[in-house]
Amino acid sequence: MDLHRLFFPESIAVVGASPNIGPGRVPYYQLLKSTGYKGRLYAVNPRYNEIDGETVYQTIEGLPGPIDLVIATIPAGQALDVVKSCAEKGVKFIHFFTSGFSEIGDKGLEKAMIDAARLGGVRIIGPNCMGVHCSEAGISCDLPNIVPLPAGKTAFLGQSGGMTNNFMRMAQSKQIMLNKVVSYGNQIDLKVEDYLEYFAHDDTVQAISCYIEDIKDMKRFTAVLKRNASQKPVIILKGGTTEQGAKAAASHTGAMAARNEIWTALMRQYGCIQAQNFEHMIDLAMMAVSERMPTGPRLGFLGAGGGTSVLFTDIAYSQGFTLPELNPQTQERISEKISNVNTSTSNPVDLGFFGFDFTIMAHTISAMAEDDRIDIIIPYFSLDFITSFQRDQLESGPYTIIEAAQKTNKPVVPILSKFTENSIEIEEVRIKMSSVFRDAGLPVYNTPQDALASLRGLWNWIMYTRDSQKTKD
C-alpha cells in the first residue's frame, strides 16, 4: 500500500482548528509554528475567519487545491459528515484525533464512515489517536518542540496515543532519533500491518518498535511478519495479555486481546523481538539502531568491584551469554596498568580502584578488542565513585572511552550505574556522559539487567535471520 502522501503530504487541512487551548489548537499550532512543515497548511472551522492572522476556511469543499491529509479534531457526531466531505474533495487521508467510537460500543458509526470513505478512495487513520510524525517532512503528533529534530532510523507504531507520546519523549531523551511514527488508535481502516509493511520496505528505517493492543486481521498480520521480520528488527510490546488487561484494552481502543503464551509463541515463530515492558522496548530500540550489532554471545566485562562482577556473571549466564577467560596475552596487557591487589584480569575483569580511571578503562577496552574470545565489550562505570574520586576526568574521560570503542568493530555497551538517587550532581554527570556516548552511537544502559536484556533480544533476532537465510539457501 502506498502511504507516501500520508508521511509526506504536500497539503494539510486541520478541521476544527481553534485559537483556544484544546485538541484543535495543538495540531494546528505545532504544524504551523514548530515542526518545520513546508507544505500548504489550512485551517477549517465555520466559527472563525482567522487564527493567528491566517485565513480560516468554512468548509472542506471550499479549500483551494487538492488536499493530501486532513486532521479532524471534531466531535464524533460530526465525523461521518467530515468523511463525506473529504470523499467529495478527493482527500487522500483523514486522521481522526476524535474518540467516541467502538471503544464505547459505537461500531455502527465506524462502519458508516468506512462506507463513505470507500466511495471517494479516502483512507482513515484512527479514529481515537494522535496521528502521524515524519521528521523529514516536518510533521508531528508530538507536543510542539522548539527546534525540529533530525530524522533518525527508528520507526514507532502505537495503538495508544499516550504511549506514542511517551515513546517519542523517552526516545528523544535517550537520543534515539525518530524517523516516522504512527499513533493508529481503533484502526477501522488502515491497520498496524499496513504501516508495518510500509516501514519494512522503507530504506530510511532501520528498526521498528510497536505498542499493540489488538490485531484485526491476524492472518494478514502474520503474513506481513513472515515476509519482513527477518529484514530489520521488529520490536513489539503487547498490551492486554491478561484477562484484566484485555478488559482495559477493550474500553481503551475497542481492542480484543490475545493470551500471553499464545502471543509469545507467535513472536518467537516469526522472529519478532518481544518487549517485556515499556522501558525494555525503548532499550531494545536503542540497541537495534546502534553503530555495531552483536556478532556473538561471548561477553567481556570490565569494571570496579568483585560483587558487581559476580552478579553480572550470574545475569549474563541466565540470559544465555558466556564470559570466557581472556587470552593470556590480553590479561598481561591489562596488568600493565594496574596492580595485583584486589584486582582480577580473567573475565569478568575487576579493575578494583583502577576501574574509576577512564584511561585505564579505555586501555582495558583496547586489550579486550584484540581478544578473539570476546564478541561484545561491556564497561561498567560507577558514577557515585567516579564523581567522588575522578572529577578531573569527567570532561575528557568519556571521549577517551569513545576513542577506544571506535577503534574496534566489536560492540561496546557502557553501563552507567548510579546508586545515590538524591544527588543532582551525580545526575548531571550521568546525563552528560550518556549524551557523549550516545552522540558517538553507543547504546547506554543504567543497569546490567537492562543491557543484557537488550543484547539478548537483538542476539535472538540475529540468530533468527541467520536460520532464515540457511533455510532459503
> How much is the pLDDT for 36?
81
Topology of domain 299-463 in CATH is Rossmann fold (3.40.50)
Mean pLDDT of 192-221: 95
CATH 3.30.360.10, applies to 149-289: no
**Cell output for 315:** 545475569
Rounded to an integer, the average pLDDT of 302-314 is 94
- Neighbour tally for 1: CB within 10 Å: 11
Beta-ladder partners of 377: 300, 412
Task: Quote the Cα angle for 398-403-404, to 5°.
Answer: 100
Q: Would you kindly state where each structural domain of the chain is located, as residue ranges?
A: 1-128, 149-289, 299-463
The reported pLDDT for the residue numbered 255 is 47
Q: Which of the four pLDDT bands, split at 50, 70 and 90, describes residue 246?
A: low
Percentage, residues of the chain above pLDDT 70: 93
For 44-101, write each residue's pLDDT tens digit: 999 999 998 899 999 999 999 999 999 999 988 999 999 999 999 999 999 998 877 7
Residue-wise pLDDT for 358-377, tens only, equals 999 999 999 999 999 999 99
**For residue 250, what are the contacts with CB-CB under 8 A and spacing of at least 6?**
103, 240, 256, 257
**Residues 398-442 pLDDT 10s:** 999 999 999 999 999 999 998 999 999 999 999 999 999 999 999
pLDDT of 127 higher than 80 = yes
CATH superfamily to which 1-128 belongs: NAD(P)-binding Rossmann-like Domain (3.40.50.720)
Report how far residue 424's alpha carbon sits from residue 428's, in angstroms, rounded to the nearest whole number. Answer: 6
Whole-angstrom distance, CA of residue 29 vs CA of residue 19: 9
At 25, is the pLDDT very low, low, confident or very high (cuts 50, 70, 90)?
Answer: confident
**pLDDT at site 436:** 97
- Does 242 have pLDDT greater than 70? no
Nearest to 127 by CA among 257, 7, 256, 252: 252
Give me the pLDDT at residue 175, please: 94
Q: Chain-wide mean pLDDT for the chain?
A: 91
Identical fold at 1-128 and 299-463?
Answer: yes
